[in-house]
Amino acid sequence: MDILTKYFSGFTEKQMEQFAALGELYKDWNAKINVISRKDIDSLYEKHILHSLSIAAAFDFPAGVEIVDIGTGGGFPGVPLAIFFPEVKFHLVDSIGKKLKIIDDIKEKLTLQNITTQHSRAEDIKGRKFDFAVSRAVAPLKDLWRWSKPLLKTSKVTWQDERGFTALQSGLICLKGGDLKEEVRESGLKPKMMEISEIFSEDYFREKYILYTSLQA
């Protein structure tokens, strides 16, 4: 928990309780289903929760925005983001049903009313549109874009904060690591890339990036 408050302040008491509860909930589930690498479970807050929240450090989503988490697995980045943004709606999608059982249990125990789940491949989702798609290293960028593009609304999201009005085109936000030159080249896209190591100082975040590709890309 300390690693979260090192970088973020202003959590409500409820948010603090929810983040604190994630550790034991994931440990309990990981003993039944290997959702998180055994060697990583003790680093859950750094390698999974804080990593997910790098998106929150880079993007300030306004209330009412709808976000689809493609290939969410055990709920990353969707679950931490849903706690961080309680007024944003998150739809967590995965093709492996047993992983969604974990998310459904966690959302019930933490009363996360802004999460819905769907047992499906992203390309099979019909009749839904979202402001943004998020994903965490589940597939090459070209595939993530092919799956997410049909799910995105065509309008911009506009909101006001202390810096004035902000407008952001709907798009894909994904977390990736390593040398991405070839992957980006093969995608034919020109995503905006942010180095997470410029946000979080831990060694784990070296060569890890947030990629944002908008519908105008």
Q: What is the pLDDT of residues 154-176, one digit of tens each?
A: 877 766 665 555 668 899 999 99
84 appears as a binding residue in the annotation: no
87 appears as a binding residue in the annotation: no
206 appears as a binding residue in the annotation: no
62/17: higher pLDDT: 17
182 appears as a binding residue in the annotation: no
For residue 38, what pLDDT is reported? Answer: 77
Q: What count of residues does the chain have?
A: 217
The whole-model pTM stands at: 0.94
Report the distance separating Cα 121 and Cα 105, nearest Å. 21
Angle at 112 between CA 97 and CA 104, to 5 degrees: 15
Q: What is the pLDDT of residues 39-95, one digit of tens each?
A: 788 899 999 999 999 999 999 898 999 999 999 999 999 999 999 999 999 999 999
For residue 24, what pLDDT is reported? Answer: 94
For residue 161, what pLDDT is reported? Answer: 60
**Mean of pLDDT values over 16-38:** 91
**Per-chain mean pLDDT for the chain:** 92
Q: List, in order of start, the domains of the chain with CATH numbers.
A: 2-214 (3.40.50.150)
For residue 166, what pLDDT is reported? Answer: 66
165 appears as a binding residue in the annotation: no
Reference 75, options 42, 108, 52; nearest CA is 52
**Mean of pLDDT values over 1-5:** 92
Q: What is the pLDDT of residues 108-158, one digit of tens each?
A: 999 999 999 999 999 999 999 999 999 997 899 999 999 999 999 987 776
Contacts 24+ apart (CB under 8 A), 26-29: 26/74, 26/102, 26/106, 29/74, 29/102, 29/105, 29/106
